[in-house]
Amino acid sequence: MKRSPLLHAELSHVIASLGHGDMLVIGDAGLPIPDGPRRIDLAVARGVPGITDVLKAVLSEMQVEAIVVADEALQGDAKALPGWYPQSLGIAPQTVSHEEFKRRTAKARAIVRTGECTPYANIILVAGVKF
């Protein structure tokens, strides 16, 4: 019996179909979504759901081998990650420019739009494999 958080059906399907190295983007309400990747809009209202809640649910189902964030997400201090960053994974994030982050989103399998309104609350999760 599944004992993890309930996921949106479309999001659950995307996670189940991810292959090794596939990217899943979780972004704030202002992240531009390019044509191509599957779009999953979870936003209900300003701030709902927040990126932290969505990350917790996704990470309960997804094996992650790498994380990418835009430089701006660090807010100028390379040692102070935002409060929504999943420290529990023990994976040091790769940081890229905002422009490179947007280029990578175009190659993602899916982009999940949250109701988060914090600037640069965007993260790319790269699927790993459980052994």
120 annotated ligand binder = yes
| DSSP code string of 1-44 | ---SPP--HHHHHHHHH--TT-EEEEE-TT----SSSEEEE---
121 annotated ligand binder = yes
8 annotated ligand binder = no
98 annotated ligand binder = yes
What DSSP state is assigned to residue 71? Answer: G
User: Which residues are marked as active site?
Assistant: 20
85 annotated ligand binder = no
Token pair recorded at residue 113: 């739009």
Binding-site entries: 28, 98, 120-122
Binding-site entries for substrate: 28, 98, 120-122
